[in-house]
Structure 1
Amino acid sequence: MVAEVSLASLHTDEVRRDPYPFYADLHRHGPVCRVAPGDRYSYVVHGHDASAQVLRDSATFKVMDETLLPSPPSWENDRALAVFMNSVFFTNAPRHTRMRKMFNQAFTPRRINALEPAIDRLTADLLDHLAAQAAGGSKIDFMAEFAFPLPANVLGELLGVPEERRAWYRPRAMALGAILELGGSTPANVAAANTASQEITAYFAELAAARRTDPRDDMITALTQALESDGDQLSEHELLANLIVVFNAGFVTTTHLLGNGLTLLLDRPDHLARLRADPALAPQYVEEILRYEVPTHFSVRYTAADTEVAGVDIPRGSWVLVLLAAANRDPEHYADPDVFDPMRTETSTLSFGGGAHYCLGAALARLEGQRGLTMLLDRFADISLAEPPGTPRQLMLRGHEQLWVNLG
């Protein structure tokens, strides 16, 4: 018989500070549970294999798109929601398939691998900047000075966002991300997200117009040319929405991968020393960082038909909360799941989702994490925390807002 649980604890400060005991308790009830009446969700899926099934079955388990809303969001008045609902992240087939095809061409393994010299160059520039700032012994905010600008600069080069506007983008990206949090759609957050969306949309519209008259070797040029040659591939609103959301998703999650990764390593001197001694282990370390402290703790799906997951019947029309972070610590799938162990043999995770909505930039994020962390540790042998890191309280885009370090 399927267990029934309450998700109310997910909204408490105690669980937001450390959700993993709550996830462990869910695992004791099986891989899928019914949610107590009164919650937005009908079922919670947290087992690794059960979660993978949900993510891969995009015909049955739909992402929230505008067809599930009482009315489509207004581009003029509900800009933040309209941006999300016109993007590849919040659409289902066949619309999603059409958009995804466009972006798959930009995130090919060949193009990502070709970015490694640029990633190394941008990383080296940032490390020089850190060294100059710390020359007098000053502490450094790792998030603001390295973890944010590295992926923002890499993706900015890929898309064609000028360097001088990338810092301007960060607070607006955070405002957009706030409404994706569980319980994050407060009136204040929505108002801030709408303002940010309007400003970012106007900026990308200017960039797209500039690329039409002055084409360059970047994604904005490629997408504007595709729109000009075949309007059936991408509408103007879809173009702008996808530029915004792809840029947001492409650097915010990697920012937290770097911040969470450094915090985990500085708290574990043996692992720090091992990675320094053998940088070839970086891929394994990054995978374990992503498993152990994934920046994206959950995803949401809607059932388009009656179905079954791990022996639990889920009727059509159910909202399902998929807890990716819990799936990454499923004791049925991982030995000692609450132990940070880059040498573990079971390395498959759900950190980048799965199926049709598998993260477009997964390979790029991995490469940035590997090169960024190894080059940082090689440059600064005595890097240490300058003060205790704050405890994140968000589940979506979970990580540090500030992380103060001494470079030694």
Structure 2
Amino acid sequence: MVAEVSLAALHTEEVRRDPYPFYAELHRHGPVCRVAPGDRYGYVVHGYEASAAVLRDSATFRVMDSTLLGAKPTWEGNRAHAVFMNSVFFTNAPRHTRMRKMFNQAFTPRRINALEPAIDRMTADLLDRLAAQAAGGAKVDFMSEFAFPLPANVLGELLGVPEADRAWYRPRALALGAILELGGATADNVAAADTAAEEITAFFADLAAQRRQDPRDDMITALVQALESDGTPLSEEELLANLIVVFNAGFVTTTHLLGNGLTMLLERPDELARLRADLSLAPRYVEEILRYEVPTHFSVRWVAQDTEVAGVPIPGGCWVLVLLAAANRDPAQFDRPDVFDPDRTETATLSFGAGAHYCLGAALARLEGQRGLAMLLERFGDIRLAAPPGTPRQLMLRGHEQLWLTLA
């Protein structure tokens, strides 16, 4: 018989600070549980195999899109939600397939691997700046001075976002991301997200207009040219929405990969010393960082028809909460799941999702994490926390706002 659980704990301070004991309790009830009446979600899926099955079955388990909303958000009246609903992240086939095809061309393995010299150059420049700021023992904020600008600069180069505008973009991206949190769509957050979305939309509309007049070797130019040559791959609203959301997703998660990863290493001096002694282990460490503390803890799906997951009948028409972070610590899949172990052999995780909505930028995020952490440790032989890092309280885009360090 399927267990029934309450998700109310996910909104408490205690669980927001450390959700993993709650996830472990869910695992004791099996891979899928029914949610107590009164919650938005009918079921919670947290087992690794069960979660993977849900994510890969995009015909039965659909992402939230405009057709599933009670009232479709208008571009003029509810800009933040309209941006999300016009993007590749919040669409289902066949619209999703059409959009995804456009972006797959920019994130091929060949193109990502070709970015490594540019990533190394940008990383070296940021490390030079960190060294200058940390001179004489001064403390520096790793998040604002390295973890944010590195992926923002890399994706900015790929898309065509001018370097001078990237710092302006960060607070607006944070405002947009806030409404994706569980319980985050408050009136104040939605108002702030709408304002940010209007400003970012105008920003990308101006860039698109510039590329029509002055084409360059970047993704904005490629998408504008594809739009004008055919007219069917993307509408103007879809073009702007996807530029916003792809840029946001491309740097925010990698920012937290770097911040969370460095914090874990500083809390584990033996692991830090081992990686510093052999930087070729960086890919292994990045995979374990992503498993142990994934920046995106959950995903949501709507059930299109009656189905079954891990032997549990799930009726059509309900919402399912898929806990990716819990799946990454499923004891049925990972030995000693709550232990940070870069040597583990079971390395396949759900940190980037699975199926049709598997993260477009997964390979790029991995490469940035590997090169960023390796070059940081190579450059600075002594990295220390200058202040307690604080405990994240968000489940979506989980990470540190600030991480103060001293470097030598």
With normalisation by structure 2, the TM-score equals: 1.00
Quick one: which amino acid aligns to residue 68 of structure 2? L
In 2, the alpha carbon distance for the partners of 1:100 and 1:52 equals 20
- Once the two structures are TM-superposed, the CA of residue 71 in structure 1 deviates from its matched residue by 2.2
- Once the two structures are TM-superposed, the CA of residue 70 in structure 1 deviates from its matched residue by 1.7
Which residue in 2 is equivalent to 1:135? 135
**Are 1:403 and 2:403 an aligned pair?**
yes
Aligned residue runs from structure 1 range 175-324, under 5 A = 175-324=175-324
What is the number of equivalent residue pairs in this alignment? 408
Quick one: which amino acid aligns to residue 281 of structure 2? L
- Once the two structures are TM-superposed, the CA of residue 51 in structure 1 deviates from its matched residue by 0.1
In 2, the alpha carbon distance for the partners of 1:346 and 1:135 equals 42
In 2, the alpha carbon distance for the partners of 1:62 and 1:301 equals 5
**Are 1:382 and 2:386 an aligned pair?**
no
Which residue in 2 is equivalent to 1:45? 45
- Once the two structures are TM-superposed, the CA of residue 136 in structure 1 deviates from its matched residue by 2.5
In 2, the alpha carbon distance for the partners of 1:70 and 1:366 equals 38
In 2, the alpha carbon distance for the partners of 1:71 and 1:141 equals 42
Q: CA RMSD in A?
A: 0.4
**Structure 1: gaps (5+ residues):** none
With normalisation by structure 1, the TM-score equals: 1.00
Tell me the alpha carbon deviations over residues 42-92 of structure 1, each in whole angstroms, 9 at most, x when there is no partner.
000000000000000001000000000122101011000000000000000
- Once the two structures are TM-superposed, the CA of residue 231 in structure 1 deviates from its matched residue by 1.1
Other structure's SS at 1:82 match: helix
- Once the two structures are TM-superposed, the CA of residue 99 in structure 1 deviates from its matched residue by 0.1
**Are 1:66 and 2:66 an aligned pair?**
yes
In 1, the alpha carbon distance for the partners of 2:141 and 2:70 equals 44
Quick one: which amino acid aligns to residue 401 of structure 1? E
Which residue in 1 is equivalent to 2:326? 326
Tell me the alpha carbon deviations over residues 16-42 of structure 1, each in whole angstroms, 9 at most, x when there is no partner.
000000000000000000000000000
Other structure's SS at 1:302 match: strand
- Once the two structures are TM-superposed, the CA of residue 249 in structure 1 deviates from its matched residue by 0.1
Q: Percent identity among equivalent residues?
A: 84
Quick one: which amino acid aligns to residue 16 of structure 1? R
Which residue in 2 is equivalent to 1:344? 344
In 2, the alpha carbon distance for the partners of 1:16 and 1:10 equals 6
In 1, the alpha carbon distance for the partners of 2:69 and 2:371 equals 42
**Are 1:167 and 2:176 an aligned pair?**
no
Quick one: which amino acid aligns to residue 405 of structure 1? L
- Once the two structures are TM-superposed, the CA of residue 135 in structure 1 deviates from its matched residue by 1.1
In 2, the alpha carbon distance for the partners of 1:136 and 1:190 equals 43
In 2, the alpha carbon distance for the partners of 1:129 and 1:358 equals 34
Which residue in 1 is equivalent to 2:33? 33
Quick one: which amino acid aligns to residue 38 of structure 1? G
Which residue in 2 is equivalent to 1:103? 103
Other structure's SS at 1:44 match: strand
Other structure's SS at 1:220 match: helix
In 2, the alpha carbon distance for the partners of 1:66 and 1:107 equals 26
Q: Structure 1 runs of 4+ off > 6 angstroms?
A: none
Which residue in 2 is equivalent to 1:92? 92
Quick one: which amino acid aligns to residue 215 of structure 2? P
In 1, the alpha carbon distance for the partners of 2:230 and 2:315 equals 40
- Once the two structures are TM-superposed, the CA of residue 327 in structure 1 deviates from its matched residue by 0.1
Tell me the alpha carbon deviations over residues 210-267 of structure 1, each in whole angstroms, 9 at most, x when there is no partner.
0001000000000000010111110000000000000000000000000000000001
